Amino acid sequence: MNRPVNAVKRVLRRRKRAEPPALLSTPKPSLTYRLISYLLVFPIYRLLFRGRTGGNANVPLEGAVVVVANHGSHLDPPLLGHALGRPVAFMAKAELFKVPLLGPIIRACGAYPVARGASDREAIRTANDRLDEGWAIGVFIDGTRQSDGRVNIPQAGAALLAARAGVPLLPVAIINSHRALGTGSKRARLVPIHIRIGTLIPPPASRRRPDLDAATAACQQQINALLDQGLLPQGPQRTAGVLPPSP
């Protein structure tokens, strides 16, 4: 009599474990994250760098997603996590966590350290764990800062993450951060930094190299096209869903 019941229980347990990451509940911003975003990142982005964000309606506020962006400055991780209106977990060089002020900020904003020389497999495993928890994972598609702030030599890591987890990619363009505090800069220039959020790209059909390359090329094309549009026009700014929250 108990055999059919036990069989049903086993099937239900298997179904629960097979739930796609994209359907999982998104982790809520911690109090530390909200304080950092409201008291520090907000004034730096909006006041010092006259920051503006466009395309917030394209950001899925629930479920896992791989956020793919260009990279021109160490300012990019906290600014991007703030502008998207939800915590974004970034792979970041372990050395950055030792930098005064910057280290605590990027850690509070969801970044996690990857030791120099660590294998790609180890980094991907860590990112997959975050996606399984419903996080947005941030990936700078070139892997390192570019002096011109564009996507020049994109890597397939973001596409591989999306393919493994079955989650979409969200291209984002960070405009002018390379001019504000780029490679070789010793102090910041207070130029406007604007962020344009693109449209979702479906996960690659498979982990085969041609599928990964196609998704990577689509991200590169969309990000560079957003960069080519330049700074956002003056006028009413739509920032629905963007931190900082109301008290």
Task: Answer for the pair 245, 38: CB distance below 8 angstroms, yes or no.
Answer: yes
Residue 195 within a domain? yes
Query: pLDDT digit string (tens) for 11-38?
Result: 334 434 334 444 456 777 778 788 888 8
* pTM exceeding 0.85: no
pLDDT band at 120 (very low <50, low <70, confident <90, very high): low
CATH code for the domain of 66: 3.40.1130.10
Residue 105 within a domain? yes
Residue 241 within a domain? no
Query: Would you tell me how many other CB atoms lie within 10 Å of the CB of residue 101?
Result: 8
Query: pLDDT digit string (tens) for 130-184?
Result: 898 899 999 999 988 999 999 999 999 999 999 999 999 999 999 999 999 998 8
Count of structural domains within the chain: 1
Residue 13 within a domain? no
Residue 176 within a domain? yes
- Note down the domain range covering 224: 28-183+191-228
Query: pLDDT digit string (tens) for 182-230?
Result: 988 888 999 999 999 999 999 999 999 999 999 999 999 999 999 999 9
Residue 17 within a domain? no
**Whether residue 244 has a cis bond before it, omega within 30° of 0:** yes
Residue 204 within a domain? yes
Residue 148 within a domain? yes
Q: What is the pLDDT of residue 215?
A: 98
Q: What is the pLDDT of residue 14?
A: 45
Task: Answer for the pair 63, 90: CB distance below 8 angstroms, yes or no.
Answer: no
Q: Is residue 244 scored above 70 in pLDDT?
A: no
